[in-house]
Amino acid sequence: MSSKVIIFVRAPLQGKVKTRLARTLGNEKAAEFYRLCTEATISEVSRLSPEVGKYIFVAEPVGGYKTDYAVHHGFKIYVQEGESLGQRLCNAFNRVFENGAQKAIVVASDVPDLTTGIIEEAFSSLDKSDVVIGPCYDGGYYMIGMKELHEELFQDISWGTDKVFQQTLAAIRKNGITVEQLPVLIDIDTEIDLRRWVAIKGDKKPTLLDFIRNMNV
């Protein structure tokens, strides 16, 4: 399994996830939406070739957070390590490279349009480039992949702001690293993001779309 994909997730607990979305939808609905997003992402990753190593890195150990179904689909479960998001990403990459990865990709769990095809495209992009990155409309990114650890891409980044993608791209160029960019997707943080996602044409995951329609968003 020389290619490995990592999903970064949080336990879908009320009041702990999607707090900006919860301001208008409430904690229960925001947490449920995040749970559905996470399960949809796991489903997409599980469709990759059995030759691809599959991992879930949970933000913190939480009693009662069930991952049995993911283990059943061949995922290995780890807890993220590090204070900042940059440290956590760096440590996750380092772990899978130490486990023999020749290509590794980290994906977010709150991007409903992420598909198996996009992930496969990312792995193919690493045949010709050092790094692959998938930008979000809000200035972050939903995916980053590489063939070896580039720690410099996770340093001096303003995590949680609209500068993340551009700062990462600047670090890539500064260090002479080749890069391929994937399609821009929406990560869902607010009700406005939800409305924007629903309005975009294209196939939508039925469980997510039905949930949103039932909320009358």
Higher-confidence position of 194 and 174: 174
Q: How do residues 36-93 score in pLDDT, each as one tens digit?
A: 999 999 999 999 999 999 999 999 887 767 777 788 888 999 999 999 999 999 999 9
pLDDT averaged over every residue in the chain: 93
pLDDT value at 215 more than 80: no
What span, in angstroms and rounded, lies between the C-alpha atoms of 6 and 212? Answer: 27
Nearest to 121 by CA among 72, 36, 181: 181
Q: Work out the pLDDT band at 206, boundaries 50, 70, 90.
A: confident
Q: Work out the pLDDT band at 178, boundaries 50, 70, 90.
A: very high
Domains detected in the chain: 3-207 (3.90.550.10)
The whole-number average pLDDT for the span 119-135 is 98
Q: What is the pLDDT of residue 146?
A: 98
Q: What is the pLDDT of residue 195?
A: 87
Residue with tokens 């995040």: 34
Q: What is the DSSP track for 154-199?
A: GSS--TTSTTHHHHHHHHHHHTT--EEE---B----SHHHHHHHHH
List the structure tokens of 166. 């551009």
pTM score > 0.85 for this model?
A: yes
